[in-house]
Structure 1
Amino acid sequence: MTSSSGAEEIWIRRFHHGLPGGNRLVCFPHAGGSASYYYPFSQALAPRTEVLAVQYPGRQDRRREPLVDSIPRLADHIADALERQGADSAAYFGHSMGAVLAYEVAQRLRERAAQGPARLFVSGRRAPSRRRPGGPGRVHLRDDDGLVAELRKVGGTDPSFLNDRELLAEILPVTRNDYKAIETYVWADRPPLDCPITALVGDHDPQTTSDEAAAWAEHTTGAFDLRVFPGGHFYLDARRDDVTDVVTAALDPTPAVNTLEGNTA
């Protein structure tokens, strides 16, 4: 069940409650994605880790709200919401566009209060300091057929949706908006974060090489870890258990105690 009580939670969705005093993980969706993408992660991590999923405007229960096509403006809004929720010091997990948003939110919160996330997980995205030759991406400038072709290429969207004209009418404006946001994003050189960063990437991701993911090490003075999985841009759909294992081990390395049998699990 999604929990949302009050206007201050318009940006945050909670699917499962965690243990009192337990870990909290704020999850940032990819371009065209929504908070519900992280429902399976929430289910797998609860109750030891409570997942708070960010809901961008223009999709699902926020579908009537204007879209935001700027990473900095999105980051400003999300940082405000996390401060209101007392989740600014939680761990963050972002995939693709969500990785950049998680990083930008972390920078804003650190600048405001001299603190940031407990740990940053960045998935399927090259480090902000790495730009590819040829200038900004142009996917958001393609016609509808070109945008659909890109979605088929990277995966992550149910193919049946891409064959349904009515669903495409809902999907494409949101996806185009998000591609514009990430493709026009320009990294502003800032001091590195001090939280640990874990970078995750598929070994056949057309959008991020292992070397580009490894460059996230430059964005922290803390510990850095690189995890490479079999798969493409949406490797985590097939490797969800492996990814949640990485998150669990990083956030809570002590095995849980089975209080009924007195054994570790």
Structure 2
Amino acid sequence: MGKIKLICLAYAGGSASVYIPWNKMISSKVDLVPIEYPGRGKRAKEPLCQSIDEIVDAVYQSVISELDVEDDYILYGHSMGSLVAYELAYKLIDNGYKKALHLIFSGGKAPQRRIKKKDDHKLPLELFEDFVLQYGGKYTDQIFANEELKKYFIPILRADIKIVEEYIYQKPPYLLEPNVSILIGEDDESTTWDDIKDWNYVTKGDCQYYYFKGGHFFIQELPDQVMKEINNIVDSIETVKSI
């Protein structure tokens, strides 16, 4: 039996590299597959995506280069990545791939809650920096303190936040079926219970909520605890499959 592929999608401004440290902690039953968005990392020369359709299409092309039709996989996304993962789950099924064994949505509002159009991505530079800094992040202060890094990351952040802010939820023709796990930071002020409870309604499967001590970027603050939970999810899947 082949390994389960854990397809990981980053937050706004993030790249595939944010998940590389997980390789040291992940279950031997899993292949980690961090997906790079256009405009950063190894895809830095490609134009940035400007809409949810563009980024999901780009991610889909990357995923199918790593995934055979019959491969078992889990989708994981943090913050913006949770929204991309949600839309990707449908695109994979609609194109003949197996449904995911499990869906893990982390640090993000349910798609039904993303209904208020905002324009924070258009804020003047100083105000935009303040807006981004309120979410925290392990390296955000360092990035904004370095002019070269700031020049590189600001366009990426603006494009990614634009995708999230201009997302329009459309009721899908069918519900997803896999069990869903929601990971959330106890001190994440960007999401409320009302924002995350609606993840329960995206699937016919079970939906479990897991809280971690930390803010929006608890996955950076507590990677060992996050990976422990993900490894437990993998073990539970393996147990069910063996019955």
TM-score w.r.t. the length of structure 1 is 0.83
**Partners of 2:27 and 2:231 within 8 A in 1:** no
Task: Give 1:69-108 correspondences, 5 Å limit.
Answer: 69-86=50-67, 89-108=72-91
Amino acid at match of 2:236: P
**Partners of 2:8 and 2:33 within 8 A in 1:** yes
CA distance in 1, matches of 2:38, 2:95: 24
Amino acid at match of 1:129: Q
SS in structure 1 opposite 2:113? coil
CA distance in 1, matches of 2:47, 2:237: 44
Instruction: State the shift of 1:157 in Å.
Output: 4.8
Query: Higher mean Cα deviation, 157-166 or 110-119?
Result: 110-119
CA distance in 2, matches of 1:251, 1:46: 8
Task: Give 1:209-224 correspondences, 5 Å limit.
Answer: 209-224=192-207
Match of 1:234 in 2: 217
Instruction: State the shift of 1:68 in Å.
Output: 0.7
SS in structure 2 opposite 1:187? coil
**Partners of 1:199 and 1:214 within 8 A in 2:** no
Instruction: State the shift of 1:44 in Å.
Output: 1.2
**Partners of 1:45 and 1:248 within 8 A in 2:** yes
Query: Higher mean Cα deviation, 224-233 or 153-162?
Result: 153-162
2:42 corresponds, among 41, 61, 82, to: 61
CA distance in 1, matches of 2:85, 2:113: 16
**1:166 and 2:151 aligned:** no
Query: Higher mean Cα deviation, 232-241 or 83-92?
Result: 83-92
Amino acid at match of 1:172: I
Q: Which has the higher helix share?
A: 2
CA distance in 2, matches of 1:60, 1:110: 28
Task: Give 1:114-263 correspondences, 5 Å limit.
Answer: 115-131=98-114, 135-158=116-139, 159-190=141-172, 191-253=174-236
Amino acid at match of 1:222: G
> Which consecutive residues of structure 1, in runs of 5 or more, have no partner in the other structure?
1-19, 256-265
**Partners of 1:24 and 1:50 within 8 A in 2:** yes
SS in structure 1 opposite 2:111? coil
Instruction: State the shift of 1:214 in Å.
Output: 2.1
Amino acid at match of 1:193: L
CA distance in 2, matches of 1:95, 1:102: 9
SS in structure 2 opposite 1:166? helix
The sequence identity of aligned pairs, in percent, is: 29
Instruction: State the shift of 1:114 in Å.
Output: 6.5
After superposition, the CA RMSD in angstroms is 2.0
> Which consecutive residues of structure 2, in runs of 5 or more, have no partner in the other structure?
239-243
CA distance in 1, matches of 2:237, 2:82: 26
CA distance in 1, matches of 2:197, 2:30: 26
Instruction: State the shift of 1:249 in Å.
Output: 0.7
Runs of 4+ in 1 over 3 A off after TM superposition: none
Indicate the structure (1 or 2) with the bigger Cα radius of gyration. 1
Instruction: State the shift of 1:199 in Å.
Output: 0.6
Instruction: State the shift of 1:219 in Å.
Output: 0.3
Match of 1:51 in 2: 32
Instruction: State the shift of 1:128 in Å.
Output: 0.4
CA distance in 2, matches of 1:28, 1:54: 6
Cα gap change, 1:27/1:74 in structure 2, threshold over 3 Å: closer, same or farther? same
**Partners of 2:35 and 2:62 within 8 A in 1:** no
CA distance in 2, matches of 1:77, 1:254: 28
**Partners of 2:38 and 2:58 within 8 A in 1:** no
Q: How many residues align?
A: 235
